[in-house]
Amino acid sequence: MKAPLDGIRVVELAGLAPAPFASLLLADYGASILRIDRPQPHAPGSISPPPTLDLLVRHKSSIAVDLKSRGGIALLRSILCRVDILIDPFRPGVLESLSLAPEDLLERNPRLIIARLTGFRRDGPYASMAGHDINYLAVSGILSQLGRSEEPPYAPANILADFAAGGLMCAFGVLLAVFERTKSGKGQVVENSMADGASYLGSMMRYARKTPLWDQPRGQNYLDGGCPWYEVYECKDGKYLAVGALEPKFFRRLVKGLGLDGESLSAAREDRARWAGMRDLFQRRFREKPRREWEDVFAGSDACCTPVLDQQELEDADYEQRPPVHLRHSPGLPVEAKEAWASTGLSPGAGGVERLHEWFGWKIGRDFKAVEGGDLIKVDAAKI
């Protein structure tokens, strides 16, 4: 049984976080990925350079190409004439400066899909500026809504802009273009900015500002840390429980499990003036027992109370990592146990020669060659 993207060939220009995550999603569902790395110096006598900092390399191969050399650009152009997707992680204008303008690439390969992933909008005031996840969240409006009351806004690591608004949205855009190509027969440019992606992810949060759900300052609403029954609590052993008992019937089960007066607390739960006292009561009660005992209390119940498991706990328990979506008739590739908790990384050049032969039947020395430093160039580049 073949994975749904089997036969799709993807070239990923090397970057970090969002673009590798986009191609990882495609790879986990059967696409064949070739990462284009910069040539890297390596220790004398070593067979290959060390892995790059990119950890999202499952099912991928690499070649090292000097994109500032005529032979390197010629090789990449020749590859892009024959593949389905190019993932571009660079700032606006970089592809053009490398003589890889999308218009030219599409003229050579009309079926090519070019995914251009940027942080800021291409047409906004920040377009030419450097930035990271926290900056894209900041200008999207989402960062202003995250964090505790009376404290600065808090960015949740780099999971929102880089991975959800960036890599995931990019992969979604690619799949839309692949679907559209089945009708038109033509590829196109897919533009994805992490700022726009973050703003879109925050649609409900933005609309909720005009409703009682989120009409208070940051950290004083139902879902942002203001509400005592949507909160994280510390237990006696220093471990934590997550409480999400939003609906009244779930709240009643939570209070019952805590051994508290359900009638009076249920009557007071919508009174914001009493939230601070209720939070203090819950804090004191949760600290009376270790997490394991509370897990036993709430096991199988609809109190919406679950342990906050750390990654080491999950690894020690042999928790099975799975692709995010399961297709019954054409499932993605499984996450092997050896790849579930650590990445071995990918060295520039690892598996790339074999991938070129698999894709095109190319052979080293006939169609391309390696030069000093390990990077590849097209043979007889003058004809490209």
Catalogue the active-site residues: 162
**CA-to-CA separations, 271 to 187, 225, 266, 293, in angstroms, rounded:** 56, 16, 10, 30
Three-state DSSP class for residue 231: strand
**CA-to-CA separations, 173 to 167, 254, 328, 365, in angstroms, rounded:** 10, 41, 23, 37
Smallest CA-to-CA distance from 298 within 241, 238, 235, 222 is with: 241
Q: How far apart are CA 229 and CA 222, in angstroms?
A: 9
Q: How far apart are CA 367 and CA 79, in angstroms?
A: 11
Smallest CA-to-CA distance from 258 within 278, 237, 238 is with: 278
Smallest CA-to-CA distance from 83 within 108, 47, 103, 54 is with: 108
Chain position carrying tokens 């992490």: 194
- Single-letter amino acid code for the residue at 21: F
DSSP state of 36: E
**CA-to-CA separations, 59 to 12, 166, 282, 329, in angstroms, rounded:** 13, 20, 47, 21
Query: Residue length, the chain?
Result: 384
Which residues, other chains included, contact 7 with Cβ-Cβ below 8 Å and sequence gap of 6+? 30, 32
Q: How far apart are CA 54 and CA 47, in angstroms?
A: 20
Which residues, other chains included, contact 357 with Cβ-Cβ below 8 Å and sequence gap of 6+? 363
DSSP state of 50: P
